[in-house]
Structure 1
Amino acid sequence: MTTPHLILVPGLMCDAASWAPMLPALQGHAQVHVVDHGQADDLVTMAQQILDAAPETFHLAGHSMGGRVALEVMRMAPERVQALALLGTGYRPKEAGAAGEKEVQTRQALLDVAQRDGVRMMAQVWVQNMVAPSRLTDAVLIEEIVQMFQRKSEDVFKRQIRALLARPNASDVLQQLRVPTLLMAGEWDTWASPQQHQAMADLMPARPTVQVVTGSGHMMMMEKPEAVAAHFVSWLKL
């Protein structure tokens, strides 16, 4: 049996380091390619970049913003995706009214910190809500996340925020999914909760079970790589 190509799509300000801890467990199960969003400032462009560089068919996994990009790939070329994994992500557009304005203000506040005090300082603020409470004292993990963010500029941060605020509604994509789909959420993830992933599952024809990663926040691949990898290995065999 041919080993499938697996394209991994990182989230906001993330790179290959976000997936690295789980990759050893995937050896022999997939040929792994990690995406770099470059200077793109909208999800459709990010998705098109993936399609332009990808093999003819592939497995696709996206985390956070990367999950939304993966859904745009599915919208554009569903026939090329053999299986889909969505981790710590969502599907709704920015809300109208006060809720949407609150999101804009929250993201702008982080951008202001990055532009005023640097990306490292912004990352130190951001990470406080992105890992499980028990991992906030894990200095090695926190520094790995902060350094990952620091490798990108405040301009890239601004571009990716612009992409997220303009995100489309992906409900229709979920309703039309016909490929094996893995849904994963961190137990402590407040940005992309298990309940949000259940709402996504309820839209899908196959109604997949949401796999909740115990003891993890938003950065599940770095917090609990063994648990995430185990689910990936099972999914790759479907």
Structure 2
Amino acid sequence: MLQEPPAVAALHVDVRLPAAAVKADFPPQTPVLLVHGWASTSAYWEPLATELLDAGRTVWIVDLPGYHRGDMLPPGFQWTLESAADSVAAVAARNAAPVHIAGHSMGGSVALALAARHPGLVASVALIGMVPAPPNEGFKSMLESQLRQGFIDDATRAKCMKAWFGALSPEDNRLLSRGFELPFEVLGPSGLAAMAGVAADVPEKVTAPTLVIAGVGDRLRSLDQAEAFVAASPLRRLVAIPDAGHSVHWEQPHACAVALGAFWNESRQPPA
């Protein structure tokens, strides 16, 4: 008996094109696909997206399954890193050539799963604030207790925001914490997927050049973990950014954009 293929969610994508007058070293038709993390919204990509657009790059900002306000998950959809990756792959496949994938935190796990499962769609992978490594045990225990109770309370939400972003203005805190307002049937399973991370063999299946951008002050993924991951393969490289923590793309968007641009230019394949 044939098994039904896993459900793929139709994702919302915000396509941003650079100003026509801006000239880039890398063709603007090669999109940069930005994939957000757990309990996050695409709003936190705005500072980095602005920098990339100013550099002449095309940016696609995707909302993961169930994360766009008003979206409904398809019947039979189960929220896993693999199902999320397959859903993002359907977006990447819209481009005629492989795209750059940049994922933050859980989005980095989705990016790795995508690159392992759909290598022909991926020109490069950038992991921001994430490498496959055991999560901080205290943070993991706190979140698991919240997920078991079926909701995220205000105290845990505040701890998460502080760990992810540090000090925020009230306005930025309201903007960036909207991901916690999602239905728990999305937050819960995606949170469990985030904490489980990719299987141990997934990074070894990734053949695309891979960049890790680490905030020196990241309390969720340490610089030691990032260095160990990068040392395990010649395809990987590391850029450590000072004065940044877990959300380096928000805290230091210019430095993040410069690191990405240099990586894409250096890893570009010569024309056949």
Q: TM-score range by the shorter chain?
A: 0.7 to 0.9
C-alpha contact (below 8 Å) 2:128/2:249 kept by paired residues: no
C-alpha contact (below 8 Å) 2:32/2:100 kept by paired residues: yes
Determine helix, strand or coil for the equivalent of 1:50: helix
In 1: Cα distance, 2:120 partner to 2:84 partner:
18
In 2: Cα distance, 1:107 partner to 1:150 partner:
13
CA 1:38–1:173 in 2, change beyond 3 Å: closer, same or farther? closer
Aligned length: 225
The structure 2 residue matched to 1:76, chosen from 113, 117, 127, is 117
The structure 1 residue matched to 2:208, chosen from 175, 179, 202, is 179
Residue identity matched to 1:50:
V
C-alpha contact (below 8 Å) 1:174/1:200 kept by paired residues: no
Corresponding residue of 2:16: none
Corresponding residue of 1:223: 251
Alignment identity in percent? 24
In 1: Cα distance, 2:176 partner to 2:149 partner:
17
In 1: Cα distance, 2:256 partner to 2:152 partner:
36
Determine helix, strand or coil for the equivalent of 2:217: coil
Corresponding residue of 2:164: 130
Corresponding residue of 1:2: 27
Query: Where does structure 2 lack aligned partners over 5 or more consecutive residues?
Result: 1-25, 67-77, 267-272
CA 1:216–1:112 in 2, change beyond 3 Å: closer, same or farther? farther
Q: Return the index of the structure with the highest Cα Rg.
A: 2
Does 2:183 correspond to 1:153?
yes
Does 2:256 correspond to 1:235?
no
Bigger share in helix: 1
C-alpha contact (below 8 Å) 1:67/1:86 kept by paired residues: yes
C-alpha RMSD of matched pairs (Å) = 2.7
In 2: Cα distance, 1:108 partner to 1:173 partner:
24
C-alpha contact (below 8 Å) 1:113/1:122 kept by paired residues: no
The structure 1 residue matched to 2:58, chosen from 31, 40, 62, is 31
C-alpha contact (below 8 Å) 1:90/1:197 kept by paired residues: yes
In 1: Cα distance, 2:198 partner to 2:252 partner:
30
> What do residues 128-160 of structure 1 show as CA deviations (whole Å, max 9, x unaligned)?
2223xxx426444434322x3244233322121
For residue 75 of structure 1, report the CA deviation from its aligned partner: 1.1
CA 1:236–1:78 in 2, change beyond 3 Å: closer, same or farther? same
Corresponding residue of 1:144: 175
C-alpha contact (below 8 Å) 1:88/1:218 kept by paired residues: yes
Residue identity matched to 2:39:
M
Does 2:194 correspond to 1:164?
yes
Task: Report matched runs for 1:2-81 at 5 Å.
Answer: 2-3=27-28, 4-27=30-53, 28-39=55-66, 41-54=79-92, 55-56=95-96, 57-81=98-122
Determine helix, strand or coil for the equivalent of 1:130: helix
C-alpha contact (below 8 Å) 1:13/1:156 kept by paired residues: no
Relative to the length of structure 2, the TM-score reads: 0.72
For residue 59 of structure 1, report the CA deviation from its aligned partner: 0.8
Larger relative CO (CA 8 A, sep 6+): 1 or 2?
A: 1
For residue 82 of structure 1, report the CA deviation from its aligned partner: 0.8
Relative to the length of structure 1, the TM-score reads: 0.82
The structure 1 residue matched to 2:126, chosen from 75, 85, 93, is 85
In 1: Cα distance, 2:169 partner to 2:244 partner:
13
